């Protein structure tokens, strides 16, 4: 049987070995860079649908949009890393921002849906991946 041995360049091996020590430092930065892109798109979509196309004057206070944010990157119980785009709770009146966002996204009897989350996901996917790649390159290679 033939035997093939391929050696990686020393410089590449050194970078890989240094990455192992920095993985827990780099992953959150990369995820948050992508999360910022998605958060921005969700905010833009939300502001464009709130109060639009209503029969009556909008009663929007801006509280829903201002409660939108990005969680810090954390590891879940399975060891997977994630960040979340979501709403801070509760509202100043004691209500739920998530409930209001759900009603806007999916509608209710007498109120048509005005999706802002699902379109943001598809619209920001490529930009999110690109931002994460750029951040990864910066962190690993110092580019």
- Computed from CA positions of residues 3, 9, 10, 16, in that sequence, does the dihedral angle turn out positive or negative? negative
Domain range enclosing 133: 24-49+65-141
Per-residue model confidence as pLDDT tens digits over 123-135: 999 999 899 889 9
Task: Report yes or no on 129 lying in a domain.
Answer: yes
Task: Report yes or no on 134 lying in a domain.
Answer: yes
Domains of the chain: total = 1
Task: Report yes or no on 55 lying in a domain.
Answer: no
pTM of the model: 0.81
Give φ, ψ of 68 to 5 degrees: -75, 135
Per-residue model confidence as pLDDT tens digits over 7-56: 556 765 566 566 777 888 888 998 999 999 999 999 999 999 887 766 67
The whole-angstrom separation of Cα 76 and Cα 98 is 22
């Amino acid at each position: 049987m033939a035997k093939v041995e391929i050696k990686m360049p020393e410089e590449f091996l050194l970078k890989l070995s240094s990455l192992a020590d920095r993985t827990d430092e780099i992953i959150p930065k990369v995820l948050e860079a992508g999360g910022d892109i998605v958060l921005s798109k969700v905010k833009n979509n939300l502001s464009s649908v709130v109060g639009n196309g209503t029969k009556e004057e909008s009663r929007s206070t801006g509280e829903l949009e201002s409660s939108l944010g990005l969680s810090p990157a954390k590891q879940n119980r399975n060891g997977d890393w994630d960040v979340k785009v979501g709403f801070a709770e509760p509202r100043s009146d004691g209500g739920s921002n998530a409930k209001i966002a759900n009603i806007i996204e999916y509608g209710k009897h007498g109120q048509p849906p005005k999706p802002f989350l699902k379109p943001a996901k598809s619209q920001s996917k490529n930009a999110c991946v690109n931002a994460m790649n750029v951040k990864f390159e910066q962190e690993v290679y110092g580019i």
